[in-house]
Amino acid sequence: MSLIEPLAQWLLTFFLAAGTGVLAAMLVVGFVGSFLVRKAPRRADGAPALWTRVVSAVCAAMIWLPAAGLFLMHGPLSGVVAASHQLRSHVDAAAPPLAFRTVAGDEPQLLAELRGQVVVINLWATWCPPCIEEKPELDRLQRDFAPRGVTVITLSDESPEVLRAFLRENPTFTLAGYTEPLRGFYGVGARPTTLLIDREGIFRGYVLGARSYGFFANWIEPYL
């Protein structure tokens, strides 16, 4: 994984946690601070003092970072933001019913039938590069934690023909399934999104974007 990818994930987490109000406040403070710095006394030679340069750089960061965040949150990342808000309101509540069919055998499957297991549901698509990159991490998670009562479901709303063709070239250890468009299941449209459901069927958390095996292993440990 390149340095850019974890940085992008960190920025996305920061923007979602901060929210529009905090980012807007940072933007205002940055503008005010920048204005005050420009009015600060200069040295005898006319050059700005060192402290004003440092404060000016901080103010510039407080202007550009939240400005970029606000643009992304209300533009290209608006779907991710909506998914985060939707999912956050359901954490620690009973997971809604979910019915799907297995890709391999076209057999009907209910989420309720997995009660007693820790269930990791990864919402993915064959057209999603981060989803493809994440698949080996989820396969390893399934192999290592199945003896401890973990089931990893990789679920897509694409056609079974598309999924079968993909899985013939890229076999999986997870429970691969397909269903109708998933927006009714927590209203999630962002890919990849991963959901965690405990042994009692309670929705315990979610992750937007791809993650590593180590992250998932630590994430599910408290519920094993």
pLDDT at 2: 41
Least confident segment among 65-69, 175-179, 215-219: 65-69
> Which candidate, 89, 69, 78, 85, places its Cα nearest to that of 25?
69
Query: pTM here?
Result: 0.69
Q: What's the mean pLDDT when you consider all of the chain? A: 82
Least confident segment among 6-20, 61-75, 79-93, 154-168: 6-20
- What is the residue-wise DSSP string for the chain? --SHHHHHHHHHHHHHHHHHHHHHHHHHHHHHHHHHHHTSPPPTTSPPPHHHHHHHHHHHHHHHHHHHHHHHHTTTTHHHHHHHHHHHTTTTSBPPP-EEEETTT--EEEGGGGTTSEEEEEE--TT-HHHHHHHHHHHHHHHHHGGGTEEEEEEE-S-HHHHHHHHHHS--SSEEEE-S-GGGTTT---SSEEEEE-TTSBEEEEEES---HHHHHHHHGGG-
pLDDT band at residue 208 using 50, 70 and 90 as cut-offs: confident
CB 195 within 8 A of CB 123: yes
pLDDT at 184: 52
Percentage with pLDDT > 90 across the chain: 48
> Averaged over 77-101, what is the pLDDT?
75
More confident residue, 18 or 31: 31
pLDDT at 141: 98
Cα 37 from Cα 125, distance rounded (Å): 49
Residue 70 CA: distances (Å) to CA of 23, 74, 76: 7, 6, 10
**What is the per-residue pLDDT across 105-126, written as a single tens digit (0 to 9) for each?**
999 999 999 999 999 999 999 9
More confident residue, 42 or 65: 65
